[in-house]
Amino acid sequence: MSHRLFRLTEQILAHPQLITAEALAPIAQYLVNRTADPSFMRDVEDDENKQDKEEMEVLNGVAFINVEGALSYKPIYTACGKVGVAYTELIEQVGEAIDAGAKQIVFSFSSPGGAAQSCFTSANEVRRMADEAGVKLVAYVDEMACSAAYAWACMMDEVVSSPDGTTGSVGCIVALLDDSKALDKEGYKRVVITSLAGKSPFNEDGSFSEKFLAKVQEDVSRLGMQFAEHVSMYTGLSVETILALDAQSFHAEKALEIGLVNKVMTPREFLDYVRSNNA
């Protein structure tokens, strides 16, 4: 349904994201290109009913959860099915693993990050659930755990990276699309009528107002600071040290040197490590 796509586009382009700039760019461009296609989005309820829910498996006290693709607060569905991973789903999976008797939950990350909405509160909730149940949380950076994905990884008892893994990007970003010149070229003019001037983000020429941009910058800076404080709380690194990383991503050995990860292991070494810890 087209209104779902418009809502998704607005959610991605107008709200702060904890995602790498490289990953955000193609997503934003894709949404802009497909906004006019009514067939792109399916009805969420229909997709949820069609999909068979997989039961959580716990083997020898260990549960594995894959975190792949972009992250969001709630599930997102497209014509090709569900995309990415939702924080609500991760909370649910952790609850199922605990109920199934897991003593250790391993998260395998291949994610560039995602939505800032409820990222920290959801990650903190999983940390609380694990602490109350006496369950160990372990993050494995298979490909990448950046931005929102690292916000989740850092709160775990251990963060282990593959030698080829990428970690970091502790920062916040918003990608706004100023289409005022394109509309003007096509002979269109955006007219917005509001009860108060602050209700609209646009100037008379259709560009974003300085007041609106300042508010967006304020929100991005606030969330960026919250992110740094969140990482500091779980890693022991100072907020100043984290901010000095300039929201960059780092290869495994550098991430280990900085203190963003605790160990570097190949996938085989990591599986052996998990088994030995659970023996």
Say whether pTM exceeds 0.75.
yes
% of the chain beyond a pLDDT of 90: 68
139-162: average pLDDT: 98
Look at residue 69 and give its three-state secondary structure.
coil
pLDDT value of residue 16? 72
pLDDT score, position 42: 42
Residue 159 scores a pLDDT above 50: yes
- Per residue in 51-75, pLDDT tens? 445 678 899 999 999 999 999 999 9
Answer yes or no: is pLDDT of 229 > 90: yes
Which pLDDT score, from 0 to 100, does residue 44 have?
Answer: 43
pLDDT of residue 77: 79
- Residue 136 predicted with pLDDT over 50: yes
Angstrom distance (rounded) from CA 233 to CA 253: 22
Average pLDDT, the chain: 86
What are 201-213's pLDDT values in tens digits? Answer: 999 899 999 999 9
Residue 248, helix vs strand vs coil: coil
Which domains are delineated in the chain? 2-277 (3.90.226.10)
Query: Average pLDDT, stretch 37-48?
Result: 44
Specify the higher pLDDT residue, 272 or 52.
272
Portion of the chain with pLDDT greater than 70, in percent: 80
The answer to which of 24-38, 44-58, 126-140, 195-209 has the lowest mean pLDDT is 24-38
φ, ψ of residue 160 in degrees (nearest 5): -115, 130
How confident is the model at residue 25, as a pLDDT? 52
Which stretch of DSSP H or E encloses residue 125?
A: helix 119-133
Check residue 55 and give its pLDDT. Answer: 72
* pLDDT attached to residue 14: 52
Segment 263-267 shows an average pLDDT of 97
Q: Comparing 22-26, 73-77, 116-120, which segment has the lowest mean pLDDT? A: 22-26
Q: pLDDT class for 175, splitting at 50, 70, 90?
A: confident
Q: Does pLDDT of 90 surpass 80? A: yes
Beta strands in the chain (DSSP E): 17-19, 58-59, 62-68, 71-72, 76-78, 81-83, 85-86, 104-111, 113-115, 136-146, 158-161, 166-168, 249-251, 263-264
Please report the pLDDT score of residue 21 as a whole number: 65
In a 10 Å sphere around its CB, with 0-12 CB exposed, 13-18 middle and 19+ buried, how is residue 200 labelled?
A: middle
pLDDT of 3: 45
Instruction: Return the amino acid letter for 189.
Output: K
